[in-house]
Amino acid sequence: MSDIKTQVQGLDPNVRARDVHGLARKTGNIYEVLSIITKRSKQLAVDLKQELHQKLEEFAVSSDTIEEVSENKEQIEISKFYERLPNPVIIATEEFLKDEVYHRYNKKRRQDEEEDILD
Rounded to whole angstroms, the Cα distance separating 49 from 56 reads 11
Query: What are the DSSP calls for 30-43, one per residue?
Result: HHHHHHHHHHHHHH
The top-scoring range by mean pLDDT among 10-14, 16-20, 43-47, 102-106 is 43-47
Q: Which residue has the higher pLDDT, 37 or 3?
A: 37
pLDDT in tens, 66-92: 555 566 788 888 888 888 888 899 999
CA 62 to chain centre: 31
How confident is the model at residue 1, as a pLDDT?
43
How confident is the model at residue 20, as a pLDDT?
87
How confident is the model at residue 46, as a pLDDT?
94
How confident is the model at residue 76, as a pLDDT?
84
Name the pTM for this structure.
0.72
How confident is the model at residue 69, as a pLDDT?
56
pLDDT in tens, 23-81: 888 888 899 999 999 999 999 999 989 988 888 888 776 665 555 556 678 888 888 88
How confident is the model at residue 36, as a pLDDT?
93
